[in-house]
Amino acid sequence: MTDFSTWDIVRNLLMAARWTVLLSVFALVCGGVVGVAVLLMRSSRRRSLRTVAICYIEVFQGTPLLMQLFLLFFGLSLTGVEVSPWTAAGAALTLFTSAYLAEIWRGCVDAIPRGQWEASSSLGLSYVEQMRYVILPQALRIAIAPTVGFSVQVVKATAVTSIIGFVELSKAGAMISNATFAPFTVYGLVGLMYFCMCYPLSLYAKKLERTMNVSR
Amino acid sequence: MAYTFDFSSLWEYRAFFLQGVLGTLVLTVIGTVLGVAVGILGAVARAWQLPVLAQLYAGYVELIRNTPFLVQLFFVFFGLPSLGFRLDAWEAAALAMILNLGAYSTEIIRAGIEAVPNGHLEAAAALAMSRFQIFRHVVLRQALLKIWPALSSQIVIVMLGSSVCSQISAEELTFGANFIQSRNFRAFEVYLLATALYFLLAVALRQSLAWFGRRVVGGGRP
């Protein structure tokens, strides 16, 4: 039996942590893009579009991420498409992130005074133009703090993808723990690494929140 | 090769689904009741800056809120036994849920306690209420009323997160689904039904919490 030094464990965990970071960034970027689309539907003037967006948000916020992952992973392969854990993880996290971001950003859009909508429509701007030039630039300012706060949730959510076999930090932790028989050290280190990723984000979100409150 | 869906084969496993739903519910109730209790204690310690306890809670809250639930669960189930602290799957799942919700509810309830105006405390003191009476009747009730919606959504999030507990073989809904799926190989149908059940559970939980908030926390007043 080979011996594992603490450094071996740390090094391997760090290698796997790169995938956690990559998956988080991917989910935030793609989720953000889809989230804007859902947001536009959610605050659109057409009722049918609003209903679709509400259902989308309700379904993804009302079911466990693990179930969404399983459905994508097992469901898509039934249709004959070969699904790798990476595809399923990326797709599920994108959907999950977009539903939450759409809801968070809607709060920010709603916080913009009605007068801004009325003034811009009296200037003859279309819905898309109103959003693009008047509402979103203002909403963006208040959206930064809660978005950074939510990114912590996304980093933590990536841990669930280990269950379908995506080798990121948690999965690597489980594998190393099985090989070294040192679960206390390994899971302690895994937790510490997540903490090192999330805590700065949490602090930054808190700081943004504070400066935002002062400036208003 | 086209795949034909077959939901009828799920009927014979109805007992497993029911058992799973019950397991998730029991886990959620234990996690909620004890987790909120931990949270109230922590909120008091933090809001009133009780020495030592406030610092301990601050560390605990940050630690839990910045690590994934899955890792907390694995740490409790696989890691703690090497300290001689052995728990079965069910106990580990419940403990992890209590710890997780405890940290979040500490922060939520603290915000509520800090939002109670100072004048109310002074008025209650002027009425010769004891410290405990002031806390129980003036501070806690107002604080809980104010933050009840936020606390409710956190409880729903924790309930949905409990699906991860299947990984240490705690027998809840996802565990049941995994088990059935390994028998009838109808993964998609099984997980679709399980997802629907989670969705219904989330809706029901939200409604019951709203009712509880109006009736019990709010004391039946409009």
Please report how many Cα atoms fall inside a 13 Å half-sphere around the Cα of residue B146, on the Cβ side.
16
Q: What is the mean pLDDT of residues A64-88?
A: 88
Burial readout A56-66 (b: 16 or more C-beta within 10 A, e: otherwise): bbeebbbbbbb
Residues in chain A with CB shorter than 8 Å from the CB of B152 are none
- In this prediction, residue A195 carries a pLDDT of 97
- Count CB pairs under 8 A between chains A and B: 123
Q: Enumerate residues 66 to 125 of chain B having a beta carbon within 8 A of any beta carbon in chain A.
A: 66-72, 74-75, 78-83
- In this prediction, residue B216 carries a pLDDT of 81
CB B39 within 8 A of CB B113: no
- Choose the CATH number for A14-168 among 1.10.150.120, 3.40.1010.20, 1.10.3720.10, 1.10.10.10: 1.10.3720.10
- In this prediction, residue A2 carries a pLDDT of 64
Burial readout B174-201 (b: 16 or more C-beta within 10 A, e: otherwise): bbbbbbbbeeeebbbbbbbbbbebbbeb
- In this prediction, residue A118 carries a pLDDT of 93
Is A77's pLDDT higher than 90? no
- In this prediction, residue A213 carries a pLDDT of 76
- In this prediction, residue B186 carries a pLDDT of 85
Are A78 and B3 a contacting pair at CB < 8 A?
yes
Kindly report the pTM of this predicted structure. Answer: 0.91
| Of A81 and B25, more confident | B25
* Distance from the A173 Cα atom to the nearest Cα atom in chain B, whole angstroms: 9
Are A157 and B68 a contacting pair at CB < 8 A?
yes
CB B68 within 8 A of CB B100: no
- In this prediction, residue A76 carries a pLDDT of 79
The tokens describing B25, both together, are 């519910």
Q: Which of B62, B24, B43, B61 is nearest to B159 (CA)?
A: B24
Q: What is the mean pLDDT of residues A86-114?
A: 94
Q: Which of A87, A173, A151, A74 is nearest to B167 (CA)?
A: A173
The tokens describing A186, both together, are 């390994």
Q: What is the mean pLDDT of residues A13-37?
A: 96
Q: What is the mean pLDDT of residues A1-30?
A: 90
Per-residue CA distances from B17 to A117, A190, B194, B196, B207 (Å): 49, 33, 8, 11, 22
* Distance from the B120 Cα atom to the nearest Cα atom in chain A, whole angstroms: 25
- In this prediction, residue A216 carries a pLDDT of 54
Is A150's pLDDT higher than 80? yes
CB A139 within 8 A of CB A108: yes
The tokens describing B175, both together, are 């565990």
Please enumerate, as own/partner, the contacts of B214-221 that have beta carbons within 8 Å and a separation of 24 or more.
Answer: B217/B141, B217/B144, B217/B145, B217/B148, B218/B145, B219/B141
Residues in chain A with CB shorter than 8 Å from the CB of B69 are 156, 159
Q: Find which of B5, B71, B206 to mutate to test the A interface (most A CBs within 10 Å of its CB).
A: B71
- In this prediction, residue A5 carries a pLDDT of 85
Please classify residue A3 by burial: count the beta carbons closer than 10 Å to its beta carbon, then call 0-12 exposed, 13-18 middle and 19+ buried.
exposed
Query: Can you list the positions of beta strands (E) in B89-199?
Result: none
What are the extents of the domains in chain A? 14-168
Are A63 and B198 a contacting pair at CB < 8 A?
yes
CB A181 within 8 A of CB A198: no
Residues in chain A with CB shorter than 8 Å from the CB of B177 are 70
State the Cα–Cα distance between residues B175 and B185, nearest whole angstrom: 15
Interhelix angle A183-215/B53-65, nearest 10 degrees: 100
CB B193 within 8 A of CB B17: yes
Nearest CA in chain A to B202: A62
- In this prediction, residue A79 carries a pLDDT of 77
Q: How many other C-beta atoms lie within 10 A of the C-beta of residue A156?
A: 24
Are B65 and A202 a contacting pair at CB < 8 A?
yes
- In this prediction, residue B2 carries a pLDDT of 64
* Distance from the A84 Cα atom to the nearest Cα atom in chain B, whole angstroms: 16
Domain B12-217's class?
mainly alpha
DSSP line for B81-96: GGGT----HHHHHHHH
Q: How large is the C-alpha radius of gyration of chain A?
A: 21
Is A9's pLDDT higher than 70? yes
pLDDT by 10s per residue, chain B, length 222: 567 777 888 888 899 999 999 999 999 999 999 999 999 999 999 988 889 999 999 999 999 999 999 999 999 999 999 888 889 999 999 999 999 999 999 999 999 999 999 999 999 999 999 988 998 889 998 999 999 999 999 999 999 999 999 999 999 999 999 999 988 888 889 999 999 999 999 999 999 999 999 888 776 554
Residues 6+ apart with CB under 8 A from B208: none
In the structure, what pLDDT confidence band is assigned to residue A215 with cuts at 50, 70 and 90? low
State the Cα–Cα distance between residues B192 and B87, nearest whole angstrom: 32
Q: Find which of B4, B5, B27, B66 to mutate to test the A interface (most A CBs within 10 Å of its CB).
A: B66
Q: Find which of A23, A24, A78, A171 to mutate to test the B interface (most B CBs within 10 Å of its CB).
A: A78
Numbered residues of chain A with Cβ closer than 8 Å to any chain B Cβ: 59, 62-68, 70-71, 74-75, 78-80, 152, 155-160, 162-163, 170, 173-174, 177, 182-184, 186-188, 190-191, 194-195, 198-199, 202
ipTM attached to this prediction: 0.90
Give CA A75 to chain center in angstroms. Answer: 22
Are A79 and B199 a contacting pair at CB < 8 A?
no
Residues in chain B with CB shorter than 8 Å from the CB of A163 are 70, 164, 167
- In this prediction, residue A38 carries a pLDDT of 96
* Distance from the A93 Cα atom to the nearest Cα atom in chain B, whole angstroms: 14
- In this prediction, residue A151 carries a pLDDT of 96
- In this prediction, residue A127 carries a pLDDT of 87
Q: Enumerate residues 137 to 176 of chain B having a beta carbon within 8 A of any beta carbon in chain A.
A: 156, 160-164, 166-167, 174
Is A167's pLDDT higher than 70? yes
- In this prediction, residue A45 carries a pLDDT of 84
Is A24's pLDDT higher than 60? yes
